[in-house]
Structure 1
Amino acid sequence: MALRQIILAAGLGLAATFAGGHVARADTLADALVGAYNSSGLLEQNRAVLRAADEDVAQAVAALRPVLDWTADVTRQFGESRSASSFGDRVGTVSESASIGLQASLLVFDFGRTRLSIDAAKQAVLATRYQLIGIEQEILFRGAQAFFELQRAQRVLAVRQNNLTVIGRELRAARDRFEVGEVTRTDVALAEARLAEARSQLAVAQGDVARAEQEYITATGRRPGGSSALGTVPAIPPSVEAATAIALKTQPDLIAAQYAVTLADLGVKIAEASLKPTVNLTGRYSLTQDLDDRDFYNRGGSISLGASGPIYRGGALTSALRQSVAIRDQRRAQLLVVSDNVRQSVANAYVNVQVARSAIQASRQQVEAAQVAFNGIREEAQLGARTTLDVLNAEQDLLDARTLLISAQVDEYVAAYNVIAATGRLTASALNLPVQQYDPTVYYNLVKDAPALSSQGEQLNRVLRAIGKD
């Protein structure tokens, strides 16, 4: 809950702007995160992937159930024959019959291969769920980053606009002093050159804002409001070690890789079981009616218990076994790689936070010093002790210091949310975002037992309509 309060507070500075008599509320970070969660097509895509994985469980369960098939056919037989009994004449024959039959089969024993397939499908579902959480984190982090990058661009633009105003005043002052002979034409030209440069930099800043707005729209699915206060930096673990310990328990990509290893282990067992025989119980019943003779029909059935197993299939089964062992080894190695990547991601994000905080402290001191220097040089210039170039240089130093401070502040926010994502806590659930959260267990619980009844099918249809997939 504390994390949620920090997240929501990070965007609650309501910088109201007035346009046409209406008040436009500035977007908050919570608005950006909610928009990113609700509008992401990538999330919808991977939710569908998860539902497809859920159906794999249903199909694996169905393999343990009886299989009932029906057949029906109408047959017309015709031909001609010639024999001694027909004195060498050709005799034509035509007959018609209809038949219908039922066949039921049940898997009795397969050395656990089907049970292992069910377990494997369940492990795949769990892995896919955590992959979906990883995608959710990427979407929310992109939304947060787009929000802060837009704030950076807007604040830099405001500084550039202020800089243009200040240089404009300096140019007017230089022209006034030139008129009375206090400065030369060179001072005026220097001020004019700096004004042109400021206008160019302002155009660049405006372009940066336009690009940041487009990224914000893409990431959040909404147009940005006005600039808002950055708010409080979210709390992060007190050390790299503490953050890493959390990440190794909760990072979704790492957990998905762990389930992938278990899935690969089951794949080896399934491949081994495929080399063994299976036992099936089969029942058949059929009815045949001669359409030319209504009194003639035949009906009957059979029940059989049979076993079958592979003898030679060109080496395909043993190749599949070797392949499953290779996949298991690959997944185990991948787990080590993902674990190392998680450690590195946490460390890098944590270092970026520390670097940003050090930069903020230094930039604040630089801004304070540059402001004092600018004020002093401007006063000295009014007294004739400083040139116009000195004033312009001091203004440029102050502009650079303010820009560095803005960037360092935004970098701290981005790095802090990167730490949260690296530890696996940048999710709608952990942040308690005011959204309709997607519950992956609802669909799974409906299909895990392979429902076939109409009432269960209707319940599934209601769920699909609720998520907009009818």
Structure 2
Amino acid sequence: MRKRLISALFAGTMLALPGAASAETLQGALIKAYQTNPTLNAARANQMATDENVTIQRASSLPSLQLNSTFNENVLIPPGQFIVIPRSMNTQAQLQVPIYQGGLVKNGIRAADARVAAGAETLRATEASVFSQVVAAYNDVIRDMAIVELNRANVSQLDVNLRATNDRFEVGDLTRTDVAQSEARLSQARADLRNAEANLIASKERYIQQVGEAPTDLTPPPPLPNLPTDVNEAVEIAIKENPDIAAATKNSEAAGFDVKSARAARLPTLAAIGNFNRSDNFGGAIVPPGLQLNIPATQESAAVGAQFSLPIFQGGRPSAQIRQAQARKTAAMENQIGTERSVIQQVRAAFASWRASLDVIKSAEAAIAANDLSLEGVRAENGVGNRTIIEVLNAEQELINARVTLATARRNAYVAGFTLLAAMGNAEARDLDLEGLQLYDADLNYRQVRGNFLDWSGRDAPMIRSTRTVNTPAQDAKPVSAPQN
């Protein structure tokens, strides 16, 4: 039974900040991606194409009716013809009803059904992958915005420090070395700011790529609930729920049915057949004068029977096809194990990254508190001559570094936590509380096409549902999110 690990994840996002009614939430970003992301929409279309394989396979088991009609106008009649028919039309209708095909159709349908199920699981995996990228992009923007603000504040502070250092140098309280150190640290801070701004712009563009719109006033994401407390628990859930494992299992089943279908090539087939023929000379037959012949204008005939086919020798083709299908079955089984290994690695790595990031957050918070106190003391001691300017600058830089570490760790913890949920198979649209969103039903198209045996049925003309971003303005480093507490 699936656990609704994120059932209440986004219900209160709009209340995260006072007065944030117009702010963008993680819930809103995920809804936009769910509706307009081209990767996800393309995966849905591919799943529709996979659904049709069931109908294609079933068609071989249904009766087929074919009508052939030929009209001839004899424009050049050779001499010496006893009877001349200037024009004629021959019509033939043939009905064939398959009775036995050695299990070819039955196993083909089963293989197609298994691949439909595998495709549905792959669609789940695509949803989780897209959502993981949206979550990462969302948190990247918030992280980089915080780092930009820290670097801007640092540049402003160092600029003030440099002016104060110059003033003290003018009165002889400090040396030229102190001024040079302050200038160097300010130049480095300005370079760090430019790098941070470039990183923020790149994060905004990644956000646009995933969501389809530019980020505007992003609110801090809500906590991730119900994360596992033990890595073994996470692995156990992933083995049962991960869509990649489920898809690999279904593909292995389909490969097994392919082997049975290949074996049908060596078995006999039986079909009932019916033929109807009509010849029409339009009453225009020409006979020699004085010859009494009654040539009817139309002639009709019909026959029913059975067609039995027994393959005796096919040049080794059936055996080769069977061996080929068996090899592909083996490959599918190995891929199933490989997928399981990959998922286990993802779960364990994401769990370790998540727990490590939580520890880094605690350490960074402690470091910020200690560095803040240290900076205050170093500044006070510098005022009475017990500390040098470089010591003040170093204390300020250590505090900035600790705050950057905290912003990065918060981002890493959230992304790793969501990645862990995705690897466990619990981060798709059906697991999230995306209010007002009508979930895509992958089974709906399957149910519609599975029983469709009409040759002239169709679907709506192909259309694009994803949004283009070519008209989105190039991003800058202006703030778009509320500062974190």
TM-score (ref. length: structure 2): 0.87
Select the residue among 140, 161, 164 that pairs with 1:149: 140
Map Cα deviations across residues 180-211 of structure 1 (whole Å, 9 max, x no partner): 22112221222122111111111111111101
Contact 2:6–2:426, Cα closer than 8 Å, also in 1: no
Contact 1:81–1:92, Cα closer than 8 Å, also in 2: no
Who is 1:440 aligned against? Answer: 442
**Amino acid in structure 1 at the alignment position of 2:232:** E
Distance across 2 between alignment mates of 1:2 and 1:9: 16
Select the residue among 266, 272, 284 that pairs with 2:275: 284
Distance across 2 between alignment mates of 1:297 and 1:160: 96
Map Cα deviations across residues 74-131 of structure 1 (whole Å, 9 max, x no partner): 124554355xxxxxxx999553211222111000112222111111111111011111
Pair 1:34 & 2:31 matched:
yes
**Amino acid in structure 2 at the alignment position of 1:189:** A
3-state DSSP of counterpart to 1:127: helix
Residue 237 of structure 1 and its aligned partner are, at CA, apart by 1.3
**Amino acid in structure 1 at the alignment position of 2:351:** Y
3-state DSSP of counterpart to 2:89: strand
Contact 1:243–1:423, Cα closer than 8 Å, also in 2: yes
Distance across 2 between alignment mates of 1:364 and 1:466: 47
Distance across 2 between alignment mates of 1:157 and 1:305: 81
Contact 1:15–1:226, Cα closer than 8 Å, also in 2: no
Query: Taking CA–CA contacts closer than 8 Å with sequence separation of 6 or more, which of the two structures ends up with the larger relative contact order?
Result: 2
Distance across 2 between alignment mates of 1:400 and 1:254: 41
Pair 1:184 & 2:191 matched:
no
Who is 1:167 aligned against? Answer: 158
Distance across 2 between alignment mates of 1:382 and 1:11: 47
Percent identity, aligned pairs only, is: 27
Pair 1:139 & 2:130 matched:
yes
Residue 24 of structure 1 and its aligned partner are, at CA, apart by 8.8
Residue 381 of structure 1 and its aligned partner are, at CA, apart by 1.1
Who is 2:415 aligned against? Answer: 414
Map Cα deviations across residues 327-350 of structure 1 (whole Å, 9 max, x no partner): 111111111111111111111110
Who is 2:291 aligned against? Answer: none
Who is 2:47 aligned against? Answer: 50
**Amino acid in structure 1 at the alignment position of 2:8:** Q
Residue 35 of structure 1 and its aligned partner are, at CA, apart by 2.1
Contact 1:4–1:433, Cα closer than 8 Å, also in 2: no
3-state DSSP of counterpart to 2:303: strand
Who is 2:192 aligned against? Answer: 201
Pair 1:118 & 2:119 matched:
no
**Amino acid in structure 2 at the alignment position of 1:67:** S
3-state DSSP of counterpart to 2:213: coil
Map Cα deviations across residues 196-250 of structure 1 (whole Å, 9 max, x no partner): 1111111111111101000010011111012432432443112111111111111
Distance across 2 between alignment mates of 1:388 and 1:276: 92
Distance across 2 between alignment mates of 1:124 and 1:423: 22
Say how many residue pairs are matched.
Answer: 451
Who is 2:346 aligned against? Answer: 345
Map Cα deviations across residues 262-316 of structure 1 (whole Å, 9 max, x no partner): 1011111111112101001110112111131484321011101011132222211
Pair 1:65 & 2:62 matched:
yes
Select the residue among 188, 204, 210 that pairs with 1:213: 204
Who is 1:316 aligned against? Answer: 317
Contact 1:29–1:144, Cα closer than 8 Å, also in 2: yes
Pair 1:127 & 2:118 matched:
yes
Contact 2:55–2:449, Cα closer than 8 Å, also in 1: yes
Residue 387 of structure 1 and its aligned partner are, at CA, apart by 1.6
Map Cα deviations across residues 376-422 of structure 1 (whole Å, 9 max, x no partner): 00111112221211111110111111111111111110110010011
Distance across 2 between alignment mates of 1:450 and 1:61: 10
Change (3 A) 1:396 1:10: farther
Distance across 1 between alignment mates of 2:223 and 2:13: 5
Who is 1:401 aligned against? Answer: 402
Residue 433 of structure 1 and its aligned partner are, at CA, apart by 1.8
Change (3 A) 1:367 1:155: same
Alignment of 1:68-107 (within 5 A): 68-77=65-74, 79-81=77-79, 95-107=86-98
Contact 1:143–1:220, Cα closer than 8 Å, also in 2: yes
Residue 49 of structure 1 and its aligned partner are, at CA, apart by 1.3
**Unmatched segments (≥5 aa) in structure 2:** 286-294, 467-485
Pair 1:224 & 2:215 matched:
yes
Residue 7 of structure 1 and its aligned partner are, at CA, apart by 4.0
**Amino acid in structure 2 at the alignment position of 1:398:** L
- The RMSD of aligned alpha carbons is 2.4
Select the residue among 251, 259, 263 that pairs with 1:272: 263
Change (3 A) 1:10 1:403: farther
**Amino acid in structure 2 at the alignment position of 1:80:** P
Select the residue among 448, 451, 473 that pairs with 1:449: 451
Distance across 2 between alignment mates of 1:418 and 1:11: 23
Contact 2:114–2:253, Cα closer than 8 Å, also in 1: yes
Higher fraction of strand: 1
Contact 1:137–1:426, Cα closer than 8 Å, also in 2: yes
Alignment of 1:239-250 (within 5 A): 239-250=230-241
**Amino acid in structure 1 at the alignment position of 2:446:** Y
3-state DSSP of counterpart to 1:5: coil
**Unmatched segments (≥5 aa) in structure 1:** 17-22, 83-89
Residue 450 of structure 1 and its aligned partner are, at CA, apart by 2.4
Contact 1:11–1:231, Cα closer than 8 Å, also in 2: no
